[in-house]
Amino acid sequence: VADGVEARAEDLARVETADNGALLRSHRRGVMPRVAHNLRYFADRLLALAHPDFETRGHTNHVTWDPAGPAVLITPWNAPLMLATWKIAPALAAGSTVVLKPAEWTPLTASLFADITHGAGLPPGVFNLVQGYGDEVGAALVADADVRRVSFTGSVPTARRIATAAAAHLTPCSFELGGKSPLLVFADADLELAADLAVEQYDNAGQVCLAATRILVEESVRDAFLGHFLDRVTKVTQGDPRDEATGIGPTIHPRHVERVDGFVRRALAAGATPVIGGGRNTGLGGNYYLPTLLTGVAQDSEIVQEEVFGPVLTLQTFPDGDEEEAVRLANGTRFGLAATLVTGDRDRAERITARLVAGTVWVNCFFVRDLSAPFGGSRQSGVGREGGDWSFDFYCDLKNTVTAPGKWEARHG
């Protein structure tokens, strides 16, 4: 299957850009190679999956991972094929069959992937694709008594509905949900690096669950940080995602643009100030929304507390040297998916990261990910972890076989 993805990588990249508006160069250079890597990684990981036998009063304990059974995978629209194979690969490697229900806004690469699995020789019924709306198709799938696992990436309200339906049969669920991640910048940080990382949060027009949309800066370096940030962001080109020069493309859908703009308009009405952006890109029209940075926002405001999922960042400050306040602001939402910290002090980095509520913390970097690492969120950012052996623990039923000591009867013939 991975070979088939690589053979059709250009087709997949172009179709996905047409479907969701993400940058074509990103699909070519990063996303589609990652799709193939997802498949190969979990195939290899399966071969290394083992737990050493251990003894209990002379009895041998032997741990195995048995396929759990049919897995329903419901995937989002912001990175459709990559995030789908992040679930498909370990489920198939575990020996569980798969029913994929992709997001209705981005169905196309899932259908191409189904063709690739067929061409690769997967037996009928091993990988299954069902297109449709969540309220119809998704609801029927997660409530089915024959389903043994449900994995969902998306919003908190939808996860609640899935969990309620799955509870009738005690079907285990894995949820990767929203985020409202902080980017903490201390006065001892490399401010140019901090500005680079902040501008990187506009990747995929801000439609990234991990995005550090809440920038928290130590008061004394606020203006210096803003200077570096504005110098960089004004050089980023917004335009056609098929153009190599484009840095920020459109958002996914007219309804989503309206949702993003609604958050910003309400924030402005509540007293927020736009440092940049603050509305639609009228020069481009369509689904383009200007990269936006808002100041003058309160910690309990909607724009700080709720996931916008667009190219919208907020800037808050904390008093000089006040790590307690920095952590309070960073942890001050119902989410806990990720956090980014920029500091030149190793001891401070260790102190702060130990107190941050997040499934992933990046120190002086962003979006460095390894498939061997656990991925998921705390609080309302999710339930469970994916990646490495954690994926197999979910898509399998673990079994411990205990064998008594003694001689076995020899068999002949």
Let me know whether 322 and 381 are in one domain: no
Residue 413 lies in a domain: no
Let me know whether 30 and 120 are in one domain: yes
Let me know whether 30 and 137 are in one domain: yes
Predicted local distance difference test score (pLDDT) of residue 406: 85
Predicted local distance difference test score (pLDDT) of residue 408: 77
- Expressed as residue numbers, the domain containing 92 is 2-177+377-403
Residue 409 lies in a domain: no
Residue 372 has, within 13 A of its CA and on its CB side, a CA count of 4
Let me know whether 140 and 218 are in one domain: no
Number of domains in the chain: 2
Give the CATH number for residue 352.
3.40.309.10
Let me know whether 137 and 278 are in one domain: no
Predicted local distance difference test score (pLDDT) of residue 409: 76
Residue 47 lies in a domain: yes
Residue ranges of the chain whose pLDDT lies below 70: 410, 412-413
Predicted local distance difference test score (pLDDT) of residue 407: 76
Let me know whether 187 and 124 are in one domain: no
Residue 369 lies in a domain: no
Long-range CB pairs of 113-119, under 8 A, 24+ apart, other chains included: 113/5, 113/12, 113/81, 113/84, 113/85, 116/1, 116/4, 116/5, 116/8, 117/1, 117/4, 119/4
> Which residues carry out catalysis?
176, 209
Please report, as a single letter, which amino acid is at residue 329: L
Predicted local distance difference test score (pLDDT) of residue 413: 55
Residue 371 lies in a domain: no
Q: Using alpha carbons, list the distances in angstroms from residue 107 to 99, 102, 125, 184, 402.
A: 14, 6, 20, 37, 46
Let me know whether 146 and 198 are in one domain: no
**HEC string for the chain:** CHHHHHHCHHHHHHHHHHHHCCCHHHHHHHHHHHHHHHHHHHHHHHHHCCCCCEEECCEEEEEEEEECCCEEEECCCCCHHHHHHHHHHHHHHCCCCEEEECCCCCCHHHHHHHHHHHHHCCCCCCEEECCCCHHHHHHHHHCCCCCCEEEEECCHHHHHHHHHHHHCCCCCEEEECCCCCEEEECCCCCHHHHHHHHHHCCHHHHCCCCCCCEEEEEHHHHHHHHHHHHHHHCCCCECCCCCCCCCECCCCCHHHHHHHHHHHHHHHHCCCEEEECCCECCCCCCCCECCEEEECCCCCCHHHHCCCCCCEEEEEEECCCCHHHHHHHHCCCCCCCEEEEECCCHHHHHHHHHHCCCCEEEECCCCCCCCCCCECCCHHHEECCECHHHHHHHHEEEEEEEECCCCCCCCCC
Residue 223 lies in a domain: yes
Q: What is the dihedral of CA 289, 293, 298, 300, to 10 degrees?
A: 50
Give the CATH number for residue 103.
3.40.605.10
Let me know whether 356 and 386 are in one domain: no
Residue 6 lies in a domain: yes
Residue 114 has, within 13 A of its CA and on its CB side, a CA count of 16
